């Protein structure tokens, strides 16, 4: 792909820079080269769609302002071989024309499910689109995953990023209030992908934003059943046959949801009867504290991913509904070929008084940070 000089009004732009910084992992203090590349790839609904590449010299993250999505994450294995570790399409343009199960997308206004596609707020019933059986899923027919965000790249000596913003107007997809959201996606020199959300509203509303990347640390050559997971969670929220929380908060002890010590996914899926699509309880009360949520290891490649967040829970989804899906690089994604770790407020929280509240009031600021840190074990 060819990139030309950065111009504010250009259809193709490129921003690149290099910096020198002490490398803690190597005694020879090699120079770390940081680079952002961006290319306009399409227009959608009258707005430009860009493909961004963040490169810290060790790994690359590819993004788009369409859907605030993560397109690819390219990381080395224990032998230094670079591979994409997400389920995706070959190009960003394909997201505009092909349906997909929220690959890499920003899900909102409300990620996950809302039972019966309705909720009450201050005595008013709000009716939403039924996009998952009789329920509402991931923000509606055209949620945040199908919006073109205003975007600009930025950088400093240790971070490469893209800042995106989107105004969701009052009544969009049935939700009340004009909601202004800013999304930062950043790659650091220590191989951390950081995702930050901030939102404000002019009317009482509900909000639950997340990222919906499907990971496969083996390079998406086969399923993820050989991955090892450890969750720092002592409870989960059981669901009914439509995957709506029952309202219980159940201890993981003695269940297949007990990942407090590392467990191989395939063994736990067999014990659970088919897969996971459940909220793991990471906090009982809201706080700004960043907590170590999950560690995932792929022994064959040596890749390790550690997830941190300041939110309340994480939806653990193991690609149960993937079937014969034509993905990138000529691969066909099938059941359990990827897993999602969706940092979130607990699902259907507006309909459960004992769950953390998803309500955002005027004058308040919603703030949510997710970090995925990548490393290798030899």
Confidence of residue 32 (pLDDT cuts 50, 70, 90): low
- Evaluate if residue 19 carries a pLDDT over 60: no
- Evaluate if residue 17 carries a pLDDT over 80: no
What is the pTM assigned to this prediction? 0.92
Pick the catalytic residue from 212, 227, 278, 298. 212
**pLDDT by residue (tens digit) across 154-200?**
999 999 999 999 999 999 999 999 999 999 999 999 999 999 999 99
- Of residues 258 and 13, the one with the higher pLDDT is 258
Nearest-Å Rg of the Cα atoms of the chain is 20
pLDDT at 31: 56
- Cβ atoms of 203 and 177 closer than 8 Å: yes
- Evaluate if residue 9 carries a pLDDT over 80: no
SS3 261: coil
- Evaluate if residue 72 carries a pLDDT over 50: yes
- Cβ atoms of 192 and 373 closer than 8 Å: yes
Per-residue pLDDT averaged across 195-219, rounded? 98
- Evaluate if residue 251 carries a pLDDT over 60: yes
- Cβ atoms of 276 and 317 closer than 8 Å: yes
SS3 349: helix
Strand-strand pairing, 69-76 and 82-84? antiparallel
- Evaluate if residue 8 carries a pLDDT over 80: no
- Cβ atoms of 52 and 62 closer than 8 Å: yes
- Let me know the angle formed at the C-alpha of 346 by 256 and 338, rounded to the nearest 5 degrees: 55
pLDDT at 11: 37
Average pLDDT value over all residues in the chain: 92
Give domain 78-376's CATH number out of 3.30.70.1380, 3.40.50.720, 2.70.98.10, 3.30.420.10: 2.70.98.10
- Cβ atoms of 242 and 351 closer than 8 Å: no
Q: How many CB atoms lie within 10 A of CB 211?
A: 26
Burial of 238 (0-12, 13-18, 19+ CB in 10 A): middle
Q: Is 136 a catalytic residue?
A: no
**Which distant-in-sequence residues (6+ apart) come within 8 Å of 6 by Cβ?**
13, 14, 15
Residue closest to 333 by CA, chosen among 177, 223, 232: 223
Lowest-confidence segment of 18-22, 72-76, 150-154, 328-332 by average pLDDT:
18-22
Residue closest to 152 by CA, chosen among 248, 13, 23: 13
Residue closest to 193 by CA, chosen among 300, 322, 86: 86
For residue 361, what are the CA distances in angstroms to 26, 178, 196, 365?
A: 48, 11, 20, 8
For the chain, percent of residues with pLDDT exceeding 90: 90
- Cβ atoms of 68 and 102 closer than 8 Å: no
In residues, how long is the chain? 378
Identify the bridge partners of residue 212 per DSSP, sorted by sequence position.
105
Residue closest to 155 by CA, chosen among 206, 189, 198: 189
Q: Is 342 a catalytic residue?
A: yes
**pLDDT by residue (tens digit) across 86-141?**
999 999 999 999 999 999 999 999 999 999 999 999 999 999 999 999 999 999 99
Q: What is the separation of C-alpha 72 from the centre of its chain, rounded to a whole number of angstroms?
A: 12
SS3 330: helix
Per-residue pLDDT averaged across 256-265, rounded? 98
Measure the CA–CA gap between 89 and 71, rounded to whole angstroms: 8
Confidence of residue 310 (pLDDT cuts 50, 70, 90): very high
- Cβ atoms of 117 and 101 closer than 8 Å: no
**pLDDT by residue (tens digit) across 319-352?**
999 999 999 999 999 999 999 999 999 999 999 9
DSSP string spanning 79-147? Answer: T--EEE-B---SSGGGGGTS--S-TTEEE-SB-SEEGGGEEEETTEEEE----BTTBEETTSTT-GGGS
- Cβ atoms of 303 and 374 closer than 8 Å: yes
pLDDT at 33: 81
- Evaluate if residue 2 carries a pLDDT over 60: no
Per-residue pLDDT averaged across 258-284, rounded? 96
Pick the catalytic residue from 83, 172, 173, 342. 342
Residue closest to 181 by CA, chosen among 137, 140, 151: 151
Measure the CA–CA gap between 208 and 176, rounded to whole angstroms: 14
């Amino acid at each position: 792909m060819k990139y030309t000089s950065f111009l504010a009004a250009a259809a193709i732009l490129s921003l690149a820079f290099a910096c020198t910084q002490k490398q803690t992992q190597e005694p020879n203090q090699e120079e770390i080269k940081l680079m952002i590349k961006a290319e306009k790839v399409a227009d959608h609904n009258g707005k430009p769609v860009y493909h961004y590449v963040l490169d810290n010299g060790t790994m690359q993250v590819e993004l788009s302002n369409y859907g605030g999505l993560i397109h690819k994450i390219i990381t080395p294995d224990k032998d230094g071989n670079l591979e994409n570790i997400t389920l995706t399409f070959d190009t960003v343009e394909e997201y505009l024309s092909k349906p997909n199960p929220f690959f890499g997308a920003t899900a909102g206004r409300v990620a996950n499910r809302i039972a019966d596609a309705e909720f009450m707020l201050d005595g008013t019933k709000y009716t939403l689109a039924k996009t998952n059986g009789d329920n509402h899923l991931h923000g509606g027919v055209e949620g945040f995953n199908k919006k073109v965000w205003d975007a600009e790249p930025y950088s400093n000596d240790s971070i490469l990023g893209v800042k995106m913003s989107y105004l969701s107007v009052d009544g969009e997809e049935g939700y009340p209030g004009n909601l202004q959201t800013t999304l930062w996606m950043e790659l650091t020199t220590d191989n951390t992908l950081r995702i930050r959300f901030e939102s404000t509203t002019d009317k009482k509303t509900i909000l639950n934003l997340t990222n919906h990347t499907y990971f496969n640390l083996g390079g998406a050559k086969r399923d993820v059943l050989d991955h090892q997971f450890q969750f720092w969670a002592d409870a989960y929220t059981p669901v009914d046959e439509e995957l709506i929380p029952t309202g219980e908060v159940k201890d993981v002890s003695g269940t297949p949801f007990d990942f407090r010590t590392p467990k191989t996914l395939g063994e736990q899926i067999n014990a659970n009867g088919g897969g996971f699509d459940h909220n793991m309880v990471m906090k009982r009360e809201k706080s700004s504290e960043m907590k170590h949520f999950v560690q995932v290891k792929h022994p064959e490649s040596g890749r390790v991913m550690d997830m941190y967040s300041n939110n309340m829970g994480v939806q653990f989804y193991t690609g149960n509904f993937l079937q014969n899906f034509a993905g990138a690089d000529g691969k066909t994604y099938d059941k359990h070929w990827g897993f999602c770790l969706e940092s979130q407020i607990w699902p259907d929280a507006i309909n459960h008084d004992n769950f953390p509240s998803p309500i955002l009031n005027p004058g308040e600021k919603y703030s949510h940070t997710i970090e995925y840190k990548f490393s290798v074990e030899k």
